[in-house]
Chain A
Amino acid sequence: MTHQLMTTYLNESLLPYFFCPGCGHGMIVDHLNAALVKLQLDPHKVVIVTDIGCSGLADKYFATNAFHGLHGRSVTYATGIKLADPELKLIVLMGDGGCGIGGHHLINAARRNIGVAVVVFNNFNYGMTGGEHSVTTPPGGLTSSTPLGQLEQPMDICQTVAVNGASFVARATSFDKDLPDLLSTAIQNDGFSLVDIWELCTAYYVPNNRFSKSLLERTLTELNFPTGIIRQEVRPEYSRAYRQSVAAEAGKTAMPSRPIQPKYESHLERRMGIVIAGAAGKKINSAATLLCRGAVLAGLWATQRNDYPVTVKSGHSVAEVILAPTEVGYTGISKPEVILLLFKEGLASVRSQLAAMTENDLLVINRELLPLKTEARLIPIDFKATGRFANKKEYWAMIALAKLLIEVQVYPLEAIKEAVSARSEFAEDNLVAIEVGIAL
């Protein structure tokens, strides 16, 4: 250890504490200081993160790093700091209020076993806003927002995090003499720790309930809430586990470019909107991307917009492709030049576009979907007569695209064949499908 012997981690010039007379907070801060002195941590490597509430005033007394954040979110800041720098010691100070509003973060920090030690200043009510009830207010407890007594079951903070994977969990009262030992064990634990410390709020809970140290201890017994170490186990700490799990990725090229060098020629003079309307799982989007890649190989500019329901394996799948001799700006297609209507699931999505088409436009259609009222020139395809692809519907889009490129001089077939070949997966079958489309 490089730093000098630490006799205190408190900024003595700011003492005495600003807490109410008899409040447990000052006792807990003293215990925490004693724990830090015992551990002799480098204060530059300690970050005290506080929540909102009276306990949130505590970080100012520590001559360490400090982060005072939003109500209930202290564990998230501590998690971010720990993830970024596993060498730091993170200590979160929060009240029972923070455990309520931020309970979700406590559960998830426990699940991750992130290396953060949470110290709960649990005095059963909101001391900073006027003594309202919290998630830990005992049954019948009188608070400003439960003037006739608390009806809700108190949350067992310890069991909540223990059952979700916290590697060190303990409960104590601010009066416990061995609290510094318990806190130092919690801070030393390489993982998520929580110590739930029961204490007195002399501003509200004590006067409202004639509460006292002995009643606090009786409440623990009545609720059957255990004290001392509740759970202690060795489990990988998240910030280090993450680094281990991704170690093999280091040095690989991130977001590599897949540049396409135009090498074919297209005589397309005007922007062309091509809609491929099909069904989920039939490689509609993949075929559309290959159409685009072929187009870029042929010196064109392409865009592709996909539409499908959130249930990705059912319903329609529609890809809208625009090919143009210059850069494509606006990507809407109100009237396509071409629709490939392959499956009935796609019909509803293209109805208005179908209605807008004229005799100058082209509808390549699965003949099973005929008859269909349209002005467009029809090219029906009998997919049942495509031999090996009769029942392989995921190749129908590629067959139809080949047929389109034969019928309309968009760009050379070699370009889409090259695009298909560049993608090894399914390349062989796709190339055969193209030949089948050409032969139709």
Chain B
Amino acid sequence: MRELINGAQAIVRAAIHSGCNFFAGYPITPATDILLYMIRELPKVGGIAIQAEDEIASMGFCIGAAMTGKRVMTATSGPGISLYSENIGLAIMGEVPMVIVDVQRMGPATGGATTVAQGDIQFLRWGTSGGYPVIVLSPTNVAECYRLTCQAFDLAERFRVPVFLATDKETALTLATVDIEAFTALPVRERVDAPVEAEFIPYRVTAADEVPALSPYGGAHFLRFTTSTHDEHGQLTKSPDKVRVLNERLAAKLEAHRDEIAMVKAELQVGAETMVISYGVTARAVQGAIATARESDRSVSALTIYSLWPVPEKEIKAALRGIRRVIVPELNLGQYRLEVERLAPDGVEVEGINRVDGELISPQEILEQGGLL
């Protein structure tokens, strides 16, 4: 059995299967479909979905709702992420579990509303002040929109952090044929609230990489949430010792658990000296290119990266063993190539294939520019 479905629909279905019960968003091409589906569908499962007055309010509503225990999601495109920026920082600081979908379109600024791009990849990582880490997942096709949205909810619960799904206009809005087995829900991680009987200190932990348990508003305890540097009670503090413990933990809770986040697909060919590293919609052209190259007996390896941030450094380094040349095709001016370059051993050439004209990179371009013909 198959289904004709686009990425936006797959994301919404995955959100609902993952227990999402609160959504707020603001219309923006090409993310509007997700807002409209959520407004239509969430009430069917007892959820709440609302169009906010702007993107800032979308984030505010979601963050507030998350702290009552709701599983929340919002969706926008690059210009909306710009407006989300300050609240992304607040969600990192207050440790808010939430999923943020970025249906990328061409920038900068208003750019091309209906034009595919992958220009937000560094922006999502560094999109708020302070430089603290977030998680960014990127599906390459419609089936993966479903799977990675489920995983985004799971990771948001696990780490109490904003998890981004970096997709694009092409994947979100192009209808595709998908085997319905792709829409089998992943086990939903139950939230374990702080124990009712015990004393609750909102940000008390026993390890430097621990994620504190939440006790939502309206529950057994008092919950204090703050955008400011705080002590374990959620009270503002400037005490260097307390500030250091907090800030280092905000990074360590992800950095120390990279293995739980890293998702790549390595298609290694024995003896191959060239590797194509890709993510998102561009990975589909890579699949076509390597199939053609191998048909004509050209050795080439491929690495698809699903978890862009934190960078799966261990997995990339392992895949690069024996490789002399790396090609990184992207619909931007070479953003993720920077990460590959810093991980590639000396002497390994790293080249980009980059398009910013609104057209997809084709398998033929990868074959030609990658010297794989």
Contact = CB atoms under 8 A, between A and B. Distances in A.
A236 to B, nearest CB: 15
Interface string B223-251: 11111100000111000000000000000
A246 B175 CA distance: 29
A68 interface: yes
Interface stretch (B55-63, B204-212, B336-344): B55-63
Interface stretch (B151-159, B186-194, B356-364): B356-364
Contacts of A69: 60, 63, 90, 225, 227
A7 interface: no
B53 interface: yes
Given A77-B60, A242-B48, A304 B2 contact: no
Interface string A43-80: 11101000000000101100111111110010111111
A277 to B, nearest CB: 16
B354 interface: no
A311 interface: no
The interface centre, meaning the residue of B44, B87, B362 with most chain A CB atoms within 10 A of its CB, is B44
Given A255-B16, A302-B177, A330 B363 contact: yes
Interface string A217-260: 00000000000000000000000001000100111111101111
Interface stretch (A21-29, A122-130, A288-296, A393-401): A288-296
Contact of B360 (A85, A259, A330): A330
A254 B42 contact: yes
B64 interface: yes
Contact of A78 (B4, B64, B180): B64
B284 A330 contact: yes
A88 interface: yes
Interface string B169-184: 0100111110010010
Given A69-B227, A250-B43, A105 B53 contact: yes
B160 interface: no
Interface residues of B, number: 75
Nearest to B86: A70
A69 B57 CA distance: 12
Contact of A289 (B4, B37, B48, B65): B4
B60 A258 contact: no
Contacts of A82: 64
Contacts of A250: 43-44, 46
Interface size bracket, A side: 35 or more
Contacts of A246: 43
Interface in B110-157: 113-114, 141
B269 interface: no
Interface stretch (B214-222, B260-268, B295-303, B318-326): B214-222
A310 B113 contact: yes
A305 B4 contact: no
Contact of A330 (B70, B183, B362): B362
A292 B37 contact: no
Q: Interface of chain A, helix or strand or loop or mixed? A: mixed
Nearest to B12: A255
B287 A329 contact: yes
Contacts of A78: 64
Contact of A258 (B3, B43, B220): B3
Given A292-B175, A330-B363, A68 B228 contact: yes
A273 B62 CA distance: 42
B104 interface: no
The 6 closest A-B pairs by CB, nearest first: A76-B60, A80-B64, A246-B43, A80-B61, A249-B43, A84-B65
Given A104-B54, A304-B175, 7 more contacts: A77-B63, A80-B63, A80-B66, A81-B64, A84-B65, A254-B44, A260-B3
Interface of B: 1-4, 9, 12-13, 16, 22, 24, 29, 37, 41-46, 48, 50, 52-54, 56-57, 59-70, 86-87, 90, 113-114, 141, 170, 173-177, 180, 183, 217-228, 234-236, 284-285, 287-288, 359-360, 362-364
25 contacts: A45-B218, A65-B218, A67-B217, A69-B60, A76-B56, A77-B61, A79-B61, A82-B64, A84-B65, A84-B68, A88-B68, A104-B57, A249-B44, A250-B44, A252-B44, A254-B42, A254-B45, A255-B16, A296-B177, A301-B177, A302-B4, A303-B177, A329-B141, A331-B170, A331-B284
